């Protein structure tokens, strides 16, 4: 058996034993089975958490970093009132989508959050563009919102993501009701 795989299995067994997920004698039996009775398993007890637990913690850290940076970028885009904030938003969207493309090859579990952060940044950038240059034309705002909803709908249908399909459809319905009751 591969040494890395053996180490992962043994650390998981130790994690199960430490957190009482299996009875101790079962864990001892599994440890003896995987070590072949040759290695001392006591050196694994010094580890704080299993290897898979550390990997999950790292994924959560990356996910919270992506969401936090997206929110900070959106706030920064509204605090700065010039073209550089829009350029920063475009760079942020390109970086997020590039990262999402890289992760989609590996089918990451937190890829939907990257898509959502990118869509949020695109919406924020659209609203910032309207407020900087076209704030006197409310119908252009409606057009930008419709364009965002159509892109969400198209992305949801293309990538088979229900949350994008629903948000695009509900957004379009809300805009149509707004236009209908406004005029």
Check whether residue 106 and residue 136 sit in a common domain.
Answer: yes
**Whole-number percent of the chain with pLDDT over 70:** 73
Q: Is residue 52 part of a domain?
A: no
- C-alpha 169/C-alpha 172 separation (Å) is 5
Number of domains in the chain: 2
Check whether residue 65 and residue 131 sit in a common domain.
Answer: yes
Check whether residue 42 and residue 61 sit in a common domain.
Answer: no
Check whether residue 67 and residue 110 sit in a common domain.
Answer: yes
Q: Is residue 51 part of a domain?
A: no
Check whether residue 169 and residue 134 sit in a common domain.
Answer: yes
Check whether residue 66 and residue 114 sit in a common domain.
Answer: yes
Check whether residue 30 and residue 101 sit in a common domain.
Answer: no
Check whether residue 29 and residue 75 sit in a common domain.
Answer: no
Give the pLDDT mean for 15-22.
82
Lowest mean pLDDT of 15-29, 32-46, 67-81, name the range.
Answer: 32-46
CB neighbour list of residue 73: distance below 8 Å, 6 or more residues apart: 88, 89, 92, 121
Q: Does 6 score more than 90 pLDDT?
A: no
Q: How confident is the model at residue 169 (pLDDT cuts 50, 70, 90)?
A: very high
Tokens for 76, please give them.
């920064």
Check whether residue 101 and residue 123 sit in a common domain.
Answer: yes
Tokens for 143, please give them.
């057009």
- C-alpha 51/C-alpha 3 separation (Å) is 13
Tokens for 128, please give them.
């910032």
CB neighbour list of residue 116: distance below 8 Å, 6 or more residues apart: 163
Q: For the segment 36-50, what is each residue's pLDDT rounded down to a tens digit?
A: 776 554 544 444 456
Check whether residue 134 and residue 72 sit in a common domain.
Answer: yes
Better pLDDT: 7 or 166: 166
Check whether residue 160 and residue 104 sit in a common domain.
Answer: yes
Check whether residue 93 and residue 156 sit in a common domain.
Answer: yes
Q: Does 166 score more than 90 pLDDT?
A: yes
- C-alpha 104/C-alpha 102 separation (Å) is 6
Residue 34: domain span: 3-46
């Amino acid at each position: 058996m591969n040494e890395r795989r053996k180490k992962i299995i043994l650390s998981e067994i130790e994690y199960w034993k430490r957190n009482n997920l299996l009875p101790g004698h079962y864990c001892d039996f599994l440890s003896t089975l995987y070590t072949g009775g040759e290695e001392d398993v006591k050196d694994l007890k010094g580890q704080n958490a299993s290897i898979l637990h550390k990997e999950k913690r790292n994924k959560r850290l990356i996910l919270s970093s992506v969401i936090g940076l997206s929110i900070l970028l959106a706030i920064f885009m509204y605090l700065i009132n010039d073209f550089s904030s829009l350029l920063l938003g475009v760079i942020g969207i390109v970086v997020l989508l590039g990262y999402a493309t890289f992760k989609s090859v590996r089918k990451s579990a937190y890829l939907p959050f990257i898509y959502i952060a990118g869509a949020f940044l695109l919406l924020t950038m659209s609203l910032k563009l309207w407020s900087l240059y076209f704030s006197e034309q409310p119908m252009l705002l409606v057009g930008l919102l419709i364009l965002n909803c159509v892109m969400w709908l198209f992305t949801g249908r293309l990538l088979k993501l229900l949350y994008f399909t629903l948000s695009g459809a509900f957004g379009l319905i809300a805009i149509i009701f707004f236009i209908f009751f406004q005029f």
